[in-house]
């Protein structure tokens, strides 16, 4: 059991480092989403089911949705500006 727990913690650290090292923003957001999901499993190990449910719903779900929408809007603004220049 301790082995599995340490594996999850190592996965968390690898995710955090990968977020720091990726060049693409959307890749960083997906990695951050999986980081939050693994974090909710870690909370089940720490005997905090309330935190696990809340992290899975709020941390992995809502935060990633917000990041995605912000990225989508930034991309839309970028393309709108390019289209305006070419016309």
- Positions in the binding site for another protein (CB under 8 A): 5-6, 9-10, 12-13, 16-17, 19-20, 25, 28-29, 32, 35-36, 39, 42-43, 46-59, 61-63, 65-67, 69-77, 79-81, 83
Query: Minimum Å distance from CB 66 to another protein?
Result: 6
- In the complex, least distance from residue 3 CB atom to another protein, rounded to whole angstroms: 11
Residue 13 neighbours by CB under 8 Å, 6+ apart = none
The DSSP line for 17-84 is: HHHHH-SSHHHHHHHHHHHHHHHHHHHHHTT-HHHHHHIIIIIIIIHHHHHHHHHHHHHHHHHHHHHH
Q: How far is the CB of 76 from another protein (least distance, A)?
A: 4
């Amino acid at each position: 059991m301790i082995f599995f727990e340490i594996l999850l913690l190592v996965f968390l650290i690898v995710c955090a480092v990968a977020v720091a090292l990726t060049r693409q923003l959307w890749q960083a957001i997906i990695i951050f989403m999986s980081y939050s999901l693994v974090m909710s499993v870690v909370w089940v190990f720490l005997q905090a089911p309330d935190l696990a449910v809340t992290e899975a719903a709020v941390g992995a779900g809502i935060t990633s949705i917000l990041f995605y929408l912000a990225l989508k809007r930034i991309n839309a603004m970028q393309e709108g500006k390019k289209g305006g220049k070419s016309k």
